[in-house]
Amino acid sequence: MRSAHKFKVYDFTETVPGDSDTPAREQVVAEIVQRLEPFRVDSRPVVGATVITKDLNIDSLAVMDMVMELEDRFDISIPLNDVAEIHTVDELADAVLRKIGGH
Amino acid sequence: MGILDRHLHLLETHRAMQATGADPLVVMERVLSPTEAVINGRRTLLVGTNNYFGLTFDKACIEAAIEATRAEGTGTTGSRTANGTYAQHAALEAEMAEFYGKKHCMVMTTGYQANLGIISTLVGEGDYLVIDADSHASIYDACKQTQATIIRFRHNDPASLEARLRRLKDEPGNKLVVVEGIYSMLGDTAPLKAFVEVTKRYGGYILVDEAHSLGALGERGRGLVEEAGVLDEVDFVVGTFSKTLGAIGGFCVSDVEGFEALRVATRAYMFTASLPPSIVASVRAALKIVRKDGAVLRKRLWDNVATLYDGLAKAGFRLGPEHGPVVAVVMPDQMTTVGVWQALMEAGIYVNVAVPPATPGGLCLLRCSLSAAHSRGQLQHMVEVLAEVGHRFGVLPQERSAAVA
Ligand SMILES: Cc1ncc(COP(=O)(O)O)c(C=O)c1O
């Protein structure tokens, strides 16, 4: 018969956020740029005006995964509904800052 | 720009595969049994058809379908909400509800439509739909059909779900969490007990898609909800008749009050024709078999899972994380996947090619699915053939390495 399925014990404490200081815009941009670096085409740097799904070699799934990381990094919710309207790194940074600001 | 130009890259990927002499879009020229068909003129062993209990050729199911066709005709030619609800549809719903010990059941025309219709109707503007990142296309498509806000959590990670529900805890609006019993690509099961606990702690509803676990899991075959002991706490179970039950169709069972409203609100239920009498009859016969002989079929299925999974692991292949009716063999890249797949076809073995974006984590997979109808000999043969091909394509080291831990 099948190997017994083990139910892991999950530690929910690790998801409780640390400090809640509002980060500076540059910090948010830097966090995004750092996550997009692996998807760079040639040596063109990732900057605020970079159009994420056009200028980079990244698919929509990887974009959604990055958004998930940002949600956890800044303890915010970025719905998929919003992701469709975000094109550039700047727009993503704005969205993150808006969410941190509670809008 | 031509109307289809946006899809050209998909066609090009397919053509690149064809250029190598492989075309994963096969035609089953003649289906001989639940485990064999003729493809490209060759008798082929089927190890990728989701036919978990092998019921597609069951005598009782076939007879029931024939009899229903003679008695009630070939199709209903109408929607469940118009002329398409026959006594049999209502009877199947009652039987499914009873099987799960739930009050309500809605039978739909496919599992895809069940997810699409039910999920998108349960939540609306102001609500939150919280889904596993590796959800099936039918769940993602439901996201596009609803006005609800969509939040995604890390695959099979209750802590990631917890973080998201915590962030939403002061938001008004219902929260619906959607997970699957067994994931269709890697064959891994959800940590359902933890998911249910977290969801309930935050006052949410939870829906479980048991497409690949109906029959395969649980003491009575009711899927992961039964195996994990959370059947009573899960708000909605969705499933399909197209895999273990060997036909086509979808369903949703629930105890939630007001469930019947879904019948007049779910567009994928209302604006499509209902299942034909033959299908409803064969599904009812298949459900009887699951209830009567499920334990025997389940044991055969899991014995076969062990033969294939352990055999391939021993040969040195990288596989999905756990035993399951779906066994995914990880390939290094798309061209190798197609090459190995083609070599298997030439050796008379059919499995599924699964490549991004249909797969999680950008993985290239040869997706195998087991059946209670497979013989051990068929699967041992498959292990031998795949090991030989794996060496030939450099997926396995030249020297047969020791078994992976
Ligand atoms: C997880 C999952 N849900 C739903 C479905 C849809 O089932 P159906 O074939 O009945 O449309 C499938 C099958 O493709 C599936 O794998």
Domain ranges of chain A: 25-101
B350 CA distance to ligand 1 middle (Å): 20
Q: Compare CB distances from B152 to A1, A76, A80 and report the shortest one's residue.
A: A80
Convert the pLDDT of each residue in A23-61 to its tens digit.
899 999 999 999 999 999 888 899 999 999 899 989 888
Give yes or no: residues B228 and B355 share one domain: no
- The sign of the dihedral angle between the CA atoms of B109, B114, B116, B120 is positive
User: Does B173 fall in a domain?
Assistant: yes
pLDDT band at B162 (very low <50, low <70, confident <90, very high): very high
Q: What pTM does this model have?
A: 0.93
CA distance A89 to chain B (A): 20
Q: Which chain B residues are closer than 8 Å to A10 by Cβ?
A: 158-159, 162, 191, 194
Q: Identify the CA nearest to B307 among candidates B396, B393, B384, B228.
A: B384
Partners of B153 in the β-ladder = B132
User: Does B403 fall in a domain?
Assistant: no
- The sign of the dihedral angle between the CA atoms of B77, B83, B85, B86 is negative
pLDDT band at A19 (very low <50, low <70, confident <90, very high): low
Where is the domain boundary, B275, B306, B335?
B275
User: Does B308 fall in a domain?
Assistant: yes
Give yes or no: residues B125 and B248 share one domain: yes
User: Does B26 fall in a domain?
Assistant: yes
> Is the Cβ pair B357, A59 closer than 8 Å?
yes
**What token pair was written down for B299?**
């044991």
Would an 8 Å CB–CB cutoff place B149 in contact with chain A? yes
The ipTM of this complex is 0.86
Give yes or no: residues B114 and B236 share one domain: yes
B232: Cα separation from own chain's centroid: 22
| Residue of chain A whose alpha carbon sits nearest to that of B309 | A2
User: Does B404 fall in a domain?
Assistant: no
Could you tell me if B383 and B366 are in contact, meaning their C-beta atoms sit under 8 angstroms apart? no
Which residues, 6 or more positions from B353, have their beta carbon under 8 angstroms from its beta carbon? B24, B337, B338, B341, B365, B366, B367
Give yes or no: residues B104 and B161 share one domain: yes
**Which residues of A sit within 8 Å Cβ distance of B?**
1-3, 5, 7-8, 10-12, 14-15, 59-62, 64-65, 67-68, 71-72, 75-77, 79-81
**Measured distance CA(B392)–CA(B342) in Å, rounded:** 13
pLDDT at B192 over 80: yes
**Measured distance CA(B165)–CA(B176) in Å, rounded:** 10
Convert the pLDDT of each residue in B277-309 to its tens digit.
999 999 999 999 999 999 999 999 999 999 999
User: Does B325 fall in a domain?
Assistant: yes
Give yes or no: residues B39 and B183 share one domain: no
Number of structural domains in chain B? 2
DSSP B279-342: HHHHHHHHHHHHHHHHHHHHHHHHHHHHHHHHHHHHHT--B-SS--SEEEEEESSHHHHHHHHH
Q: Identify the CA nearest to B128 among candidates B162, B179, B174.
A: B174
User: What mean pLDDT do residues B219-223 have?
Assistant: 98
pLDDT at B195 over 90: yes
Query: Residue A20: its pLDDT value, please?
Result: 56
Looking at per-residue pLDDT, the higher value among B357 and B307 belongs to B307
User: Does B224 fall in a domain?
Assistant: yes
Domain that holds residue B306: 5-56+294-392
User: Does B399 fall in a domain?
Assistant: no
- CATH architecture group of domain A25-101: Orthogonal Bundle (1.10)
CATH number at residue B223: 3.40.640.10
pLDDT at A1 over 50: no
The gap between the terminal CA atoms of chain A, to the nearest Å, is 52
Pairing of strands B128-132, B326-331: unpaired
Give yes or no: residues B124 and B163 share one domain: yes
Indicate the average pLDDT of chain B.
96
